[in-house]
Structure 1
Amino acid sequence: MEKTVIVLAANSLSSCECGQGITFEVTGASRGSKSSASKTVTKTIWSCSVEAVLEYCRIVFDLFPDQCQMCVAAVDEAKCQPVNSWRDEDQEIVKVQNGFQKFGVPSFLPAQGAPVGRGHMNPCLQGLQYAVRCLAQLTATQYAVTSCPGMAPPTNRGRIIFICSLKNEADVREMEKVIVSMVKAENQDIKSKHDVARLLIDHCQLTLINVHSPPSTLQTDIKDSPLTQISPQVSSAIYSFPAKLLLEKCLHLVKVHFNLKTTIVTGIPMKEEQSGGNSANYDVQLIHLAEAHRDTLRSSYGLSVISSTKKDSSTKDVVLKWSTPKSSSLELQRCTSAYRVTPSDVTSRPTICLINFVLSGKAVLLEQPRKSTTKIISHVLTSHSGVIFLHCIPSTRPHLDDPPSISEGWGGRITDYRISDFSELVKENSLAPTPVDRTKIPKVYPEQIALSKLEHATRHWPMVYADTLIYTLTQELDCLPALIKQETMSDPQLEQCRQVITQLYEKEKANEPLSIPTGGRNKGVKRDEQYRSLWSELEDLAHMYSSNSERHRHLLEFLLQMTSRCPSMQLPRKTPPVKTENGSTAAESSSNWRDVEKHSNDRGGRSVNGSDYKWNTRTQEGHRPHPLVDGGLPTLAKPGDSLLSMWTNRKRVAADGCHQEFAGRSYGESKIELYKNLRTSNVAPLLDHE
């Protein structure tokens, strides 16, 4: 979900000790004294809750800086204060820490006038009301979408994580009942007021965390409950944890809420300061999206990389071993995906050393646990612009390993692809990140600009050299194609294009051949055909880009004037022979049929058509040649047809030519009135009599 609201409610139960302490060493007051004593400070439920919320927010902010937004609030018996807001500048862990610092120590005493035994519920209900209102508010992304005219309102789905201390199941049922009524009332208020600053809550997922301490006086009978739909707009999940386990349980919840996974990097060599420079191996836990191990778990080595060292079987981790980094440039080129990572424990010394090592610009190769002597590198840990990423490498066959030859693709063996030109096209249209203000909807998105530029560059882009001449004749055309493809054209550039076209015209007039590269498909073609193909391609290119500017249109007009005077464009073009529906030309069919008639006459019989009618000499008025015949010749057969098929076609064509054509067809597509004399004076009385 995009929106998450976290509320910490401090009541009279939150001031209890959680049973987890921090030990401090207190040294002697005098300088020469070496005596020291230790003192233990026990944390409260409130301190454990703040620590867990900070870790939850840190993981979300590190892994989803732009996708997910969080709003945190703290409430006690006296006040309800937001820790941060939906604004982009407040979506960082420093803002959340400063917000808790401003909130200060909460007031744990119940307010005056509260019901006896129910005073601990006042902060909870007040915080729940604030969470529902906060969920209805617009985030930066939602505000940008709603402010754009013509766009449908976005869906408003969010999660409320409520951390508090309750007594029994009755308190839980009351919380669920209150949030259902609050969501319903909030939606009705938004509809009645037509408030554009708020959105209707489509769905709210309540995650209620009850925190208690070990003493028996504060133990509750609240049991964990899975996610359950309690109303059409609200679903609820209940958890009950001891305060000292709240941090660990919140790390598990953030993995469940955002589909995260933990990778344990083992065998990290580190030097020990206390052991005389000797090195020891340590482990570091990294959190990331679960998709980073999708290919690894599908492979044959997937079962060996899963570790379930913890008691909770749902928190299985993936174990990868540190591999000595030598040269990771080749492996980085074969990466299929990259995911942000964040450490599970940011304060441990092994984690700090690993993070500093990666941020220094070095890459760490991670290999799967070995089943044999073969080393299988599956991931690479590296940094980009101060952010650490986990790159995935195919553990089976790399996607870019031994690519097939481009000449062995579709269409047979083709070796004249414009590979170098395609490389330049890719470089000119490479994509790069661009900063976008999510509070504003741009008139044209960067993606649309990129697609428009790519369409402009590939509007005329032959794939092979055999289909083009203007991209092979670099000596004659100079930079003419590049100037035509420009979005704008200056007067000197227009004059340069005219000079190139004039020189090409003079070269054709002087009967000079084109400098076509050796081995080209157009090498053996006649000179006039080469010039004709070149002029036709130039016309097509200029037509495609004539709408760019006024000078492009002037260039097209000049090109058309020059091509009208070219000798190659004045010659009559050869028209290909018209083929019949059987695949043979009309001349071939006529020749085959004459052979059949000659064979029949030699046998002393009459003509095959059974009459003395000559179909090729019929010139009656209104006769129209068959539509599949070129020049009046009928459609007969191709050389491979049998005698029966040729005789059948001959009879059909002869029958079509024996009758006079219907007069209505001679007028094309015009409407012809039928039975004009039907209503004349001679016929009308008969019709009336009937």
Structure 2
Amino acid sequence: MFPISHKTVIVLDNSYRFLSTSCGQPLDYDVCHKMKGGTPSGIIPLAPLAKSLWTSSVEAIQEYSRIVYDVFPGGERLLSLVTCDEIGFKIAMGWNNEQQNLSNLNACFARSSYNTRSRASSFPMGECFGTDDSTLVNGVKAALEALGTPTVTQTQMRKKSSRVANSGRVMLIAYLKNENQLKMVTEFMGDCLSKYNIAMREKDDPNRLPINECHLTIVNVYPVGDLSPSSQIREIANYYVSPTLSCEIHSSRGGTMFALKLLSLVQSHYHLASTTVTGIPMKEEQNASSSANYDVEIVHPADAHVNLPKIATGAGGGDGSCNRIPKEDTNYETIPLKWCTPRTTSVELHHCSSAYRISPVDVNSRPSSCLTNFLLSGRTVMLEMTKLKGSKVMSHMLSSHNGELYIHTLYTGRSLLEDPPSISEGIGGRITDYRINDFGELMKRIKLSPIKPSLISVEKTISPIDRAIGFLTRQTLYWPIVLGHSIMFNLQLHIAPLINLIPKDSLSVEDVNECKNAIYQIVKMESKGTSLVLPCVANRGKGPKKEELYKLLWKELDHYIEIHASTPQHKEILSTLRDLHVTATSDTNQVVKNEPMSPDRANSPNGDKPATSSVIIPPLQVPSSSSSMPTFTSNIKDEALMAWKELDSYNNMTEREKRELDEKNKPPAKRLRIPDIQSPSDSNSSVSLADGRINGTAMDAKMANGSTSNQNLLSLWVNQLNLKYRKRPDFEGRAFKIAPLYINLNQPIE
């Protein structure tokens, strides 16, 4: 419940050496030479001053504490101040909620200044650099004593439970001499922590708590331009000294660099992030008629940036990175968000997912002050970020509530109050022929429900969950997601019983008859030449031929029944299908329509079709257990796969390629040319015009009876055209012949 950031003890060196050492960064406070007319004559310019390490550290700690109090008010995160020197230590500020404010912190610094003590001259000037070891030892002891003191919240929880977690952080700020002194501090801290916890286990003190986990942050601050071993101390990332003590080392120059160091530390200690509001229009102080754009950096919890990588990549992929800019002279990054037109209404608040408190980094600057006053007046500022593709999106909003500033994260996707998105907007792209209704029916069939214990049989070895998984597997053995990938599922109006009954584990006699009737229905449709209406198979241009579609349909039905043929009833249906449409004996280079053998055709001597065009379906027989099933072996799966590949390649062709392919496979013209009866090559096989007129009646009777050899639909059609047009000579320029016009045009005029 209590993280390490719940309690932070700031230990500050208050020795003479630390207070008297200059930070090395000059501060020019003489304003006379900055005047427009220059420095007046007779006035000697004042030399610049430099702050001490104590003063620069106090200012940096004030900014550190201000950010903590702004982002975590109400005692969520507590700070304690400890000052130490060669003589002892002093806990200037405790854990009481009344003391957690900047006014009390400044008062503690004022009481801890060196000028308020009576031993101001106890140490001579010009003594060696660095903090004494005794000062650091006193600071470590004071830090452990402060961490062991329970807070108000811990005291209340201790009344309910005897064991309360107690963790905290110690931040030691001093002017260290070298790395040996640094090593001494970490080892002494680990020894003192272990001894303290042992003492707490031996006695039960109601005013003390054992320390479960402690994080030590040592910040070495040295003057600018210092070349002593103190400036050579290396920064070390987080490492463990003992199971209960972790440590990190930081080193920084004094002055403004130390303030930036604590700014980066407060973000890592409290899981904060930086956002820079860019493009804020503000009027110039000197010229009110003109305006310029300024930037303001704010700090807030890092959770406000959780969705930024998704927004930057559009939630559809990418490397998950967003526009992060490293801050100069720091080790953290900031995310720029552009200022948008302010909104006077709060309608956007309904689309916010979260809100977090913010704190400006440079609170005393004019841009930060203007932005703060603008928000406190009740205005709202929208912030937009630029995606990796260049587009922009509103991602955050700045507003104030009850005198406190907040950053709101906005919903960049679809609102929860809107209708669900269309399936075409998903990963599959603009595909509109998904089997949505069939998927809904499938969900209803595979819906799980609790089973009563009384229905569970002990003899059955298959558990209900395994039986459910097997049922789901069988229902989805062949289940195309898109209607364009199937022909069978586009004909559910005609073969719905076959599609719904085949996946069943067992079939009754009535089920078998219904499946056979569906197969006979397809045979009847093919014999009548019924076109298969498949709008999803071809997108544009001329689609596949009717014969090819029926060929694919038969192969798909064969595959669908074969993968479900686990019972004799299923195998009987499969045998019926293959008997009616035997693809193994068909010629692969010519499309042949396979029709069922009717009784009239079966009884005819030559096996020709009867005169009528109707299909006579044989009566259904009740299957017997002793009847033998006909076998059929063919490479149907490979042929179906090749046919589907040819269909997909045709759909992927361009319009020009489709036209060239259609011209190549163009059927013969409807109005054919009469064969040249005068051709010598055809003199033996053709009939002359006179003979045709004389024997026309006999020839018509012969074709009507269907007794001519090798007669098919094309030959019957050609013969019928010959009978119609043989009464008059054909036009010479018809049927792809070149007829000369204006024969006498080139002859000379007499």
TM-score normalised by L of structure 2: 0.50
Aligned equivalent of 1:231: 242
Residue 204 of structure 1 is matched in structure 2 by: 214
**Contact 1:137–1:199 under 8 Å retained in 2:** yes
Structure 1: where are the runs of 5+ without partners? 405-410, 413-690
**Separation in structure 1 between the aligned mates of residue 48 and residue 212 of structure 2, nearest angstrom:** 48
Task: Give the structure 1 partner of residue 49 of structure 2.
Answer: 41
Quick one: which of 157, 167, 175 aligns to 2:167?
A: 157
Q: Is the 2:25–2:50 Cα contact (8 Å) retained in structure 1?
A: yes
Structure 1, residues 532-568: CA drift from partner, whole Å, max 9, x if none?
A: xxxxxxxxxxxxxxxxxxxxxxxxxxxxxxxxxxxxx
Question: What code does the residue aligned with 1:345 have?
Answer: D
CA contact (8 A) 1:11 1:110 kept: no
The 1:309/1:172 distance shift into structure 2, 3 A limit, reads closer
SS of the equivalent of 2:114 reads: coil
2:365 to 336, 348, 353: 348
CA gap of 1:118–1:164, structure 2 versus 1, over 3 A, is closer
Matches within 5 A, 1:19-418: 19-25=24-30, 37-65=45-73, 66-105=75-114, 120-148=132-160, 151-216=161-226, 218-220=228-230, 221-244=232-255, 245-301=257-313, 303-310=321-328, 314-369=331-386, 375-402=392-419
8 Å Cα contact 1:266-1:321 kept in structure 2: yes
1:330 is displaced (CA, Å) by 2.2
1:377 Cα offset (Å): 1.1
Equivalent residue of 1:395, what SS? coil
Q: Per-residue deviation at 1:21?
A: 2.6
SS in 1 for 2:206: coil
- Describe the SS at the equivalent of 1:194: coil
Residue 141 of structure 1 deviates from its aligned partner by 0.8
State the secondary structure of the residue aligned to 1:83.
strand
Partner-residue secondary structure (3-state), 1:300: helix
CA contact under 8 A between 1:325 and 1:365: conserved in structure 2?
Answer: yes
| Cα distance change of structure 1 residues 345 and 116 upon mapping to structure 2, 3 Å threshold | closer
Deviation at 1:27, TM superposition (A): 5.2
Label 1:309 to 1:163 Cα distance change in 2 as closer, same or farther (>3 A). Answer: closer
Instruction: Compute the displacement of 1:389 (Å).
Output: 0.5
For residues 316 and 118 of structure 1, the distance between their equivalents in structure 2, rounded to whole angstroms, comes to 32
Deviation of residue 275 (structure 1)? 2.4
CA apart distance, 1:371: 6.6
Q: Distance in 1 between matches of 2:14 and 2:205?
A: 32
Following superposition, the deviation at residue 182 of structure 1 comes to 1.3
The CA deviation at 1:38 is 5.0
Which SS does the other structure have where 1:346 is aligned?
coil
1:373–1:163 distance in 2 versus 1, CA, 3 Å:
closer
CA separation of 1:371/1:155 partners in 2, compared to 1, >3 Å: closer, same or farther?
A: closer
Q: Which one is further off, 119-128 or 267-276?
A: 119-128
Structure 2 residue 14 is matched with structure 1 residue 10 = yes
In structure 2, C-alpha distance between the alignment counterparts of 1:343 and 1:56, rounded to whole Å: 12
Deviations 1:134-172 (A, max 9, x none): 001101110110123xx2422111110000111111111
Amino acid at match of 1:243: G
One-letter identity of the residue aligned with 1:196: P
Structure 1 contact 76–108 (Cα < 8 Å) conserved: no
> Aligned equivalents of 2:56 and 2:307: distance in 1?
37
In 1, distance between residues paired with 2:137 and 2:294?
46
Deviation at 1:88, TM superposition (A): 0.6
- Higher-Rg member (1/2): 2
Q: 1:297 to 1:305 in 2, by over 3 A?
A: same
Show CA shifts across 1:43-75 (max 9, x none): 111111111111111111111123211111122
Q: Which amino acid aligns with 1:80?
A: F
CA-to-aligned-CA distance 1:214-234 (integer Å, 9 cap, x gap):
344644232111111111221
Query: 1-side partners of 2:212 and 2:285: how far apart?
Result: 57
Change beyond 3 A, Cα 1:38–1:277: farther
User: Post-superposition shift, 1:22?
Assistant: 2.4
Provide the alpha-carbon RMSD of the alignment.
Answer: 3.2
Q: d(CA) in 2 for partners of 1:118 and 1:367?
A: 49
Please list the CA deviations of residues 210-264 of structure 1 after superposition, one character each: whole Å capped at 9, or x if unmatched.
1111344644232111111111221111111111311101111111111111000
1:328–1:365 CA contact under 8 A, matched in 2: no
Q: Secondary structure at the match of 2:193?
A: helix
1:39 CA drift (Å): 4.4
Following superposition, the deviation at residue 34 of structure 1 comes to 5.8
CA distance 1:121–1:86, change in 2 (3 Å) = same
Letter in 1 for 2:181: D
The 1:277/1:206 distance shift into structure 2, 3 A limit, reads same
Give deviations 1:423-467, integer Å, cap 9, x for gaps: xxxxxxxxxxxxxxxxxxxxxxxxxxxxxxxxxxxxxxxxxxxxx
Measured in 2, the distance between the counterparts of 1:241 and 1:321 equals: 32
Amino acid at match of 1:307: I
Distance 2:137 2:388 in 1: 56
CA deviation string 1:459-500 (max 9, x = no partner) = xxxxxxxxxxxxxxxxxxxxxxxxxxxxxxxxxxxxxxxxxx
The Cα of 1:100 is off from its aligned counterpart by 0.4
2:343 and 2:379 in contact (8 A); partners too: no
Partner Cα separation in structure 1 for residue 191 and residue 404 of structure 2: 43
